[in-house]
Amino acid sequence: MVSFGLTVILTPLICSTDQSNGAGEFNLLGVAVTLPESEKTATAKHSGPGASAQEGAEAALRELSNYLADDMAACNRAIVERMDSPVALIPQLAAHLVAAGGKRLRPLLTLASARLCDYPAGPEHQRHVALAACVEFIHTATLLHDDVVDESQLRRGLASANAVFGNKASVLVGDFLFARSFQLMTDDGSLKVMAILSSASATIAEGEVLQMSTQNDLSTSVDQYLTVIHGKTAALFAAACRVGAVVAKRPEAEELALEAYGTNLGMAFQLVDDALDYAADQAVLGKTVGDDFREGKITLPVLAAYAAGSEEDRQFWRRVIEESEQAPEDLDHALALIARTDAIGITLDRAAAYARAAREALDIFPDTHLRRLLQDTASYTVSRAR
């Protein structure tokens, strides 16, 4: 029997030295790239269910990004420098990734955590910037590899890198990004920073392997599912936040508080993503709706619907998930079963609990504007699917 008891865990790829022209355009070793509107601090426009909530979530992130605009600009410059390569395919693929956009949430968390811990300003204090770039490289490398494993055709509403450049190029450029991330760790010179980020990298890989081993298996427990999303998503959120406190040389209590914030934020973020796969339209989601269903991924919406369903419902889930026998109309039937059992509500309630834990983890810090922005970011993470 699946248990749904509350468990709260507290524990712009740019590759040229050219600068932005201020209009959201970059030149990547001769490849001109215009950033999406969301990357130029304009409100993203969507139509369809969830649009207003999506805009609210993006507004919270935009306010946090604007607050840290100078740090984010420095981070982008660091990424520009480290993505430079004489191998033409690397900047070409990187330009494609930039065009696809992205919220840059993980590096933003590193920058915000450092500033929350009063990391000094000035050109001689740039460790947080380099490590934010490092975090983004780790994240993007995992996206490239994940899209190959999942055979995804869309990423953030555009053709995925593997769809455009092929699997081999995506895997190898992902390897390049991992290598760059470890160069940045080495340049930082802190064994503690390296331990945190390298451990997170290993945990991400473990999470992806565990997800693969639970695929098509409806006997997967909720706890196993939560372990998967902790590994594949929350571990890097946690590391991104904790290293901000490390570079600021704050007490371990503050390191652990930021790690708890990142962990819980990451858990909420992934739960909402998993809900959106069954509850959003494609324009809002940025990928093909129902991808998780077609791939037989075990997520909380499926586990909740399976647990609450009739024997006839369970036979349906076993056929489409465990036996991978899917007809064109099966996705609509799955959506109807998920709606009937309130599986999305169950998933979002759990996400909201993690978001609350994330906000509360920051209570150790003074009540500043930046702390409130980080807490608002946790709140709006869940609103994306409300």
Comparing 386 with 254, the larger pLDDT belongs to 254
CA 144, chain centre distance (Å): 13
Confidence at residue 148, expressed as pLDDT on a 0 to 100 scale = 73
Confidence at residue 259, expressed as pLDDT on a 0 to 100 scale = 98
Sign of the C-alpha dihedral computed for residues 253, 255, 261 and 263 taken in this order: negative
Instruction: Answer yes or no: are the C-beta atoms of 212 and 221 closer than 8 Å.
Output: no
Residues 296 and 300: their CA atoms lie apart, in Å, by 12
SS3 34: strand
Q: Is residue 3 a part of any domain in this protein?
A: no
Residues 229 and 231: their CA atoms lie apart, in Å, by 5
Q: Which amino acid is at 153?
A: Q
Instruction: Answer yes or no: are the C-beta atoms of 355 and 385 closer than 8 Å.
Output: no
Of 3-17, 41-55, 133-147, 279-293, highest mean pLDDT? 133-147
Please, where are the H alpha helices in the chain?
Answer: 51-67, 69-83, 89-100, 105-116, 127-150, 161-165, 167-188, 191-214, 222-229, 235-247, 252-279, 282-285, 291-295, 300-308, 311-317, 330-340, 343-361, 369-383
Residues 246 and 114: their CA atoms lie apart, in Å, by 8
Q: Poorest-confidence range of 223-237, 264-278, 341-355, 371-385? A: 371-385
Which contiguous run of DSSP H or E holds residue 31?
Answer: strand 31-34
- Using CB atoms within 10 Å of the CB of residue 213, give its burial: 0 to 12 exposed, 13 to 18 middle, 19+ buried: exposed
Identify the DSSP state of 151. T
- Tell which residue, 143, 26, 161, has the closest CA to residue 96: 161
Question: Per-residue pLDDT tens for 129-176?
Answer: 999 999 999 998 888 877 777 666 656 556 676 766 678 878 888 888
Sign of the C-alpha dihedral computed for residues 108, 114, 116 and 122 taken in this order: negative
Residues 256 and 363: their CA atoms lie apart, in Å, by 12
Residue ranges making up the domain that contains 82: 54-273+369-384
CATH number at residue 183: 1.10.600.10
Confidence at residue 121, expressed as pLDDT on a 0 to 100 scale = 87
Question: Per-residue pLDDT tens for 73-110?
Answer: 999 888 878 877 888 888 777 767 766 656 789 999 99
Q: Is residue 286 a part of any domain in this protein?
A: no
Confidence at residue 32, expressed as pLDDT on a 0 to 100 scale = 36
Domain count, the chain: 1
Average pLDDT of every residue of the chain? 82
Q: Which pLDDT band, with edges at 50, 70 and 90, does 52 fall under?
A: low
- Using CB atoms within 10 Å of the CB of residue 299, give its burial: 0 to 12 exposed, 13 to 18 middle, 19+ buried: buried
Q: Is residue 373 a part of any domain in this protein?
A: yes
Q: 120 to each of 89, 247, 363, how far by Cα in Å? A: 38, 10, 22
Q: What is the dihedral of CA 298, 304, 309, 311, to 10 degrees?
A: 40
Bridge partners of 32? 27
Q: Is residue 44 a part of any domain in this protein?
A: no
**Structure tokens belonging to residue 290:** 């129902």
Comparing 33 with 270, the larger pLDDT belongs to 270
Q: Is residue 315 a part of any domain in this protein?
A: no
pLDDT exceeds cutoff 70 at 282 = no
**Structure tokens belonging to residue 38:** 């969301």
Q: Is residue 349 a part of any domain in this protein?
A: no
Residues 93 and 90: their CA atoms lie apart, in Å, by 5
Instruction: Answer yes or no: are the C-beta atoms of 338 and 317 closer than 8 Å.
Output: no
Q: Is residue 25 a part of any domain in this protein?
A: no
